[in-house]
Amino acid sequence: MDERLKKRRLVEKIQCQIMVIATNISNEDENSSKKLKVLLALGAGGLLGDAFLHLIPHAQMAHGGWVLGGFFSFFVVEKFVRIVRGEGGHGHSHGPRKDSGEKKAQHDKESVSKKDKNSDTEHSEEDEKKHHEQHRAAVEAARLQIAAYLNLTADFMHNFTDSLAIGASFVAGEKVVTMITVLIHEIPHEIGDFAILVQSGYSKRKAMLIQLLTAIGALAGCFIACASSDPFSLAEQAQSSWVLPFTAGGFIYIAAVSVIPELLEKSSFLLSIAEVLAMTLGVFAMYLIALYE
């Protein structure tokens, strides 16, 4: 038992250090941007680890259909939001068009010298490139913003089911270790949520305030469990229902579709290594928690 507590405390110390780093970053300078990508990788690892090592194994029935349902539902929601925002079907090119280039060249030959023509062409290409980069950055920010809200929704559901177990532990007057374990395994999620929100353009203060909304689910779950005549049965029913596998499908979607593509953007070799290690750490933290809970 002492060995298990030592390992649990080690996980707590590591995650607390990560939280200190997380509160000192922003998306405004290059150094913080690199740290933010590492935290995104950690969050992705935590999401995948929680889905495959915690939520799905705890679903006491074969809920593969609900996992797929959660994944597909999050896809449909994001697709619908993109269409409403006017981002769906956005496939036109921002590069210079061939016909306008030919007309411009013909006009330049007739009116200006070769030197002026080359100068105008260079300025035009620079403007087009700048416009394309600005548009791409805006689309990326909007995509991550949608992912952040989807992730918070999934976390709300997850916190609700976990807090049922916490409430049951308090009513029974024992198994406080279960409560501590649940609280510890929430830390990678909160770090991932925070990183996604900051990356999508929110300030650190606003990101933290938005994250507090998920605590409503935890408070509601604890209140219902404490008020129930049979809290353990209620917690067991919640774990064997569609909620856990559906939430797992949502976590898999967010990690695979929204966060990991951000990590696949061009980066230095050392930063890539750090991202891989951070994702591995996120999965490993969930493995340790699943092993000793």
Average pLDDT, rounded, for the chain: 71
Distance between the two ends of the chain, CA-based, in angstroms? 12
Confidence of residue 153 (pLDDT cuts 50, 70, 90): confident
- Full residue range of the structural domain in which residue 188 is found: 2-85+144-292
- Give a yes or no: residue 134 inside a domain: no
- Give a yes or no: residue 242 inside a domain: yes
Could you tell me the two tokens for 131?
Answer: 């416009």
What tens digit of pLDDT does each residue of 182-204 get? 666 677 777 777 887 887 777 88
Return the higher-pLDDT residue of 222 and 29.
222
Q: How many domains does the chain have?
A: 1
Q: What is the pLDDT of residue 149?
A: 80
**Can you tell me the distance from the alpha carbon of 218 to that of 144, in angstroms, rounded to the nearest whole number?**
25
What tens digit of pLDDT does each residue of 98-121 get? 444 444 455 555 554 555 555 556
**Residue 154 in this model has a pLDDT that exceeds 80:** yes
Q: Which of the residue ranges 114-128, 256-270, 272-286 has the most confident prediction, judged by mean pLDDT?
A: 272-286
Question: Alpha-carbon Rg of the chain, whole angstroms?
Answer: 24
Q: Give residue 214's identity as a one-letter amino acid code.
A: T
Could you tell me the two tokens for 272?
Answer: 């890539």
Place of tokens 């925070």: 194
- Give a yes or no: residue 235 inside a domain: yes
Place of tokens 């896809």: 75
- Give the least confident one: 64-68, 71-75, 212-216, 278-282: 64-68
Name the percent of the chain lying above pLDDT 90. Answer: 1
- Give a yes or no: residue 273 inside a domain: yes
What tens digit of pLDDT does each residue of 56-81 get? 776 655 556 778 788 888 888 888 87
Q: What is the pLDDT of residue 93?
A: 41
φ/ψ of 24, rounded to 5, equals -110, 20
Q: Could you tell me the pTM of the whole model?
A: 0.62
**HSE-up of residue 97 (Cα within 13 Å, Cβ side):** 5
Confidence of residue 96 (pLDDT cuts 50, 70, 90): very low
Q: Give residue 104's identity as a one-letter amino acid code.
A: K
DSSP 224-257: HHHHSSSHHHHHHHHHHSSHHHHHHHHHHHIIII
**Residue 90 in this model has a pLDDT that exceeds 50:** no
- Residue 267 to residues 119, 127, 270, Cα–Cα distance (Å): 32, 25, 8
- Quick one: 250 exposed, middle or buried, by C-beta within 10 A (0-12, 13-18, 19+)? buried
- Give a yes or no: residue 58 inside a domain: yes
**Can you tell me the distance from the alpha carbon of 2 to that of 246, in angstroms, rounded to the nearest whole number?**
36
Number of other residues whose CB lies within 10 A of the CB of residue 150: 23
CA-based torsion, 36, 42, 48, 54: positive or negative:
negative
Secondary structure (H, E, C), 60-126:
CCCCHHHHHHHHHHHHHHHHHHHHHCCCCCCCCCCCCCHHHHHHHHHHHHHHCCHHHHHHHHHHHHH
- Give a yes or no: residue 223 inside a domain: yes
- Give a yes or no: residue 93 inside a domain: no
